[in-house]
Chains A and B, each alone.
Chain A
Amino acid sequence: MTALAPDHITMPVFHRLPHAHRDEQIAQIAEAARQIRIQDLKLVHYAGAGHIGGDLSAIDILATLYGAVLDVTPENVDDPERDRFILSKGHIAGALYVTLAAYGFIPVEDLATFLKPLSKLNGHPNRNYVRGVEANTGPLGHGLPIAVGHALSAKLDVSQRRTYVLVGDGELQEGSNWEAMMAASQYELDRLTVIVDRNRLQQGATVRETNDLEPLDQKAAAFGFAVVEVNGHDHGELLDVLSAVPYRPGKPTFVIAHTHKGHPISFMSNNTAWHHKVPTAEQLELALDELKAGAA
């Protein structure tokens, strides 16, 4: 296998479209998501490692957030009043790096260093090395408490800045999330949005078979959240729900984004085998062909 090299980098750079017409925003998010998937598949194939299944389930959420929801740009990334996005499922660092490159936070060329010795692009994100990363995550169940802390700081500041955190569904088996959810509702953090990448699969099995979360909507509601379910691969649904802050005044928001691990690649989708499997050259070719066919 060829090692990851600069000519494997094909990521075009997009700009956030905060004020564009909704249809235009959605069209751009769709194209960005498609390009991010193409680049991410190449990254994992050539680097020989990564978490492709979870990357692909979350990319539509990442593309929507950075494309039209978050008030975070390469220009204001140090502004204390920026919105915050915390990736709690830090093992999809590859998808985050490609997204950050797609929206201009890090140089596209840097992607060629992914997982290489001394690269800033580690298997889990580090805020001290990668512009745009808000928290060093990797161990699960850490992002939601951090997001609650940031949302509290915004409330203390009487600020309108928003806090988003993306958690995996398997990750919700960690008790720290539920500690944080109790605090979020206690402090009425209605500018906090928790997004669950509900792909129903964890490392080696379904969440259902392992330690089931259902009824997740009722659990989140019982913890004081306003709960909303969306198709996590529908950019329009994501855009509408993630832009509606507060979703219910006085309550934090819990978005259950129904997704498929490996989406939309036919032979990867909804298949536990692709949690951190690396596509072969032939599989990469097939996957890229499917994504090319999906071009607008």
Chain B
Amino acid sequence: MTDIRVKQGGTTPLEPPAASRSARQSIADRPRYDCRNAYVETLAELAHENHRIVGVVNDSVGSSKLDAFKRAFPDRLINVGIAEQDMVGVATGLANGGRIAFVSAASCFLTARALEQIKADVAYSNRNVKLCGMSPGMAYGELGPTHHSIEDIAWLRAIDNMTTVVPADPIETAAAMRWAAAVEGPVFIRVSRMSVPEVYPEDYAFVPGRAVTLRDGDDVTLISNGTVLWRTLVAAEQLADDGISARVISMPTVKPLDTEAVVRAARETRGIVTAEEATVGGALGGAVAETVVQNHPTKMRILGVPEFAPTGSAGFLLDRYGMSPEGIAAAARKLIT
């Protein structure tokens, strides 16, 4: 077997760091990365370590950046063509035969077209299938709402036995995949193409169902995940400049939710803002609200995508829906004043 290490630049920044830095380096100034690079590097490493691991795609070799994987493991990348229902069924059958299938497809098609297969074949059957929703949320920007996958979290979260993970950076993407490969059972992981800075230390260990407090604070709590998490951290920096102490909780696992962390935040701070690249109803914000209202009611503001978005890049649309750092900070200020 040939050496399968796929060098795809997971450690090479997409953009150079800002030339001049202020004395206090903001997370916004850090280099940015495409999480798909960490995804393909990790998948190749896992496949090298464990012959049971296979990739399953719906013609999405290029968009999932799996060309090098295909060269390294030609037999272990199953391309069923543009056929999402078949793709998830095939992954289930591969699992029946003892393989660990990493399904890699645009999240909009994977989760919408194959939702019944995800529910019945994977979750209800409790099959060892890892569903990797590529370029979720509004990552496809100008391609519009047909290609946006803002609903995936709400859909997947409604299904029993479906762990739902939204990593925030390349480190968390890789860590979540390593965890998913090691456990038996269904997992859904979002893998974004939007460039994000690293928010976790290199030695970060993903723990399913566990929130991570990235910044402590007792005035207000900001809960976020995925591509919006770094924006939330910048918002906290801005709030600190105003003398507002914001707690920032990273919530990579939407299901099962770390309800203890949520209840603690509700109890210890004056309000909770959630921010995510997903529907305002039913996703992380909805999950947090369900917990808050049943345990320790407090003021909340849920930031997310409220509609079929108009034309625009993902970054433009996040800003439009109040998820620029300034927008998140403004929502927090308003909530507690």
Chain A residues proximal to chain B, CB less than 8 Å: 80, 84, 126-128, 134-139, 141-142, 144-154, 156-157, 163, 175-176, 179-180, 182-183, 186
The answer for the CA separation of A38 and B78 in the assembled complex, in Å, is: 44
Given contacts A142-B121, A146-B92, contact A179 B86 (CB under 8 A): yes
Interface centre among B80, B88, B89 (most CB of A within 10 A): B89
Q: Would you call A148 and B98 a contact (CB within 8 A)? A: no
- In the complex, what residues of A have CB within 8 A of residue B78's CB? 152
- In the complex, what residues of A have CB within 8 A of residue B126's CB? 127-128
The answer for the CA separation of A264 and B116 in the assembled complex, in Å, is: 35
Q: Would you call B121 and A148 a contact (CB within 8 A)? A: no
Interface centre among A134, A137, A156, A186 (most CB of B within 10 A): A156
Instruction: Report the minimum CB–CB distance from B80 to chain A (whole Å).
Output: 5
Instruction: Report the minimum CB–CB distance from A143 to chain B (whole Å).
Output: 8
Q: Would you call A182 and B81 a contact (CB within 8 A)? A: yes
Instruction: Report the minimum CB–CB distance from A6 to chain B (whole Å).
Output: 29
- In the complex, what residues of A have CB within 8 A of residue B91's CB? 149
The answer for the CA separation of A153 and B99 in the assembled complex, in Å, is: 7
Interface assignment of B232: CB less than 8 Å from any CB of chain A: no
Instruction: Report the minimum CB–CB distance from A7 to chain B (whole Å).
Output: 33
The answer for the CA separation of A218 and B281 in the assembled complex, in Å, is: 48
Q: Would you call A154 and B121 a contact (CB within 8 A)? A: no
Task: Say which residue of A137, A156, A183 sits within 8 Å of B86 (CB atoms).
Answer: A183
Q: Would you call A145 and B96 a contact (CB within 8 A)? A: no
The answer for the CA separation of A122 and B94 in the assembled complex, in Å, is: 25
- Name which residue of chain B comes closest to A134, CB basis: B96
The answer for the CA separation of A44 and B337 in the assembled complex, in Å, is: 65
22 A-B contacts (beta carbon < 8 Å)? A128-B126, A135-B121, A137-B120, A141-B85, A142-B89, A142-B120, A145-B89, A145-B90, A145-B121, A146-B121, A148-B93, A149-B89, A149-B92, A149-B101, A150-B94, A156-B75, A176-B85, A179-B80, A179-B83, A180-B86, A182-B86, A183-B86
Task: Say which residue of A134, A139, A154 sits within 8 Å of B120 (CB atoms).
Answer: A139
Given contacts A80-B98, A128-B125, A128-B126, contact A145 B120 (CB under 8 A): no
* Ranked 5 nearest A-B pairs via Cβ: A149-B93, A145-B89, A153-B97, A179-B86, A179-B83
The answer for the CA separation of A148 and B121 in the assembled complex, in Å, is: 13
Q: Would you call B85 and A136 a contact (CB within 8 A)? A: no
The answer for the CA separation of A150 and B117 in the assembled complex, in Å, is: 15
Instruction: Report the minimum CB–CB distance from B293 to chain A (whole Å).
Output: 31
- Name which residue of chain B comes closest to A138, CB basis: B120
- Name which residue of chain A comes closest to B75, CB basis: A156
Q: Would you call B97 and A149 a contact (CB within 8 A)? A: yes
Interface residues on B, range: 20 to 34
Scan residues 82-123 of chain B and give those whose CB is less than 8 A from a CB of chain A: 83, 85-99, 101, 116-117, 120-121
Q: Would you call B99 and A146 a contact (CB within 8 A)? A: no
Instruction: Report the minimum CB–CB distance from B1 to chain A (whole Å).
Output: 14
The answer for the CA separation of A183 and B89 in the assembled complex, in Å, is: 11
- In the complex, what residues of B have CB within 8 A of residue A145's CB? 85-90, 92-93, 117, 121
- In the complex, what residues of A have CB within 8 A of residue B333's CB? none
Q: Would you call A84 and B96 a contact (CB within 8 A)? A: yes
- In the complex, what residues of B have CB within 8 A of residue A156's CB? 54, 75-76, 97, 99
Q: Would you call A183 and B96 a contact (CB within 8 A)? A: no
Q: Mark B169-192, 1 if CB is under 8 A from A, else 0.
A: 000000000000000000000000
Instruction: Report the minimum CB–CB distance from A151 to chain B (whole Å).
Output: 7
Interface centre among A84, A137, A153 (most CB of B within 10 A): A153
Q: Mark B60-90, 1 if CB is under 8 A from A, else 0.
A: 0000000000000001101011010111111
Q: Would you call B99 and A179 a contact (CB within 8 A)? A: no
Task: Say which residue of A134, A148, A153 sits within 8 Å of B89 (CB atoms).
Answer: A148
- In the complex, what residues of B have CB within 8 A of residue A154's CB? 97
Interface assignment of B308: CB less than 8 Å from any CB of chain A: no
The answer for the CA separation of A141 and B117 in the assembled complex, in Å, is: 10
The answer for the CA separation of A138 and B125 in the assembled complex, in Å, is: 12
Q: Would you call B89 and A146 a contact (CB within 8 A)? A: yes
Q: Would you call A151 and B120 a contact (CB within 8 A)? A: no
Q: Would you call A176 and B98 a contact (CB within 8 A)? A: no
The answer for the CA separation of A148 and B80 in the assembled complex, in Å, is: 10
- In the complex, what residues of B have CB within 8 A of residue A183's CB? 80-81, 83, 86, 90
Interface assignment of B316: CB less than 8 Å from any CB of chain A: no
- In the complex, what residues of A have CB within 8 A of residue B116's CB? 139, 142
Q: Would you call B94 and A152 a contact (CB within 8 A)? A: yes
Given contacts A176-B85, A182-B81, contact A152 B120 (CB under 8 A): no
The answer for the CA separation of A84 and B95 in the assembled complex, in Å, is: 13
The answer for the CA separation of A148 and B94 in the assembled complex, in Å, is: 8
- In the complex, what residues of A have CB within 8 A of residue B92's CB? 135, 145-146, 149
- In the complex, what residues of B have CB within 8 A of residue A147's CB? 93
- In the complex, what residues of A have CB within 8 A of residue B95's CB? 149
Instruction: Report the minimum CB–CB distance from A245 to chain B (whole Å).
Output: 16
The answer for the CA separation of A127 and B126 in the assembled complex, in Å, is: 9
Instruction: Report the minimum CB–CB distance from A227 to chain B (whole Å).
Output: 20
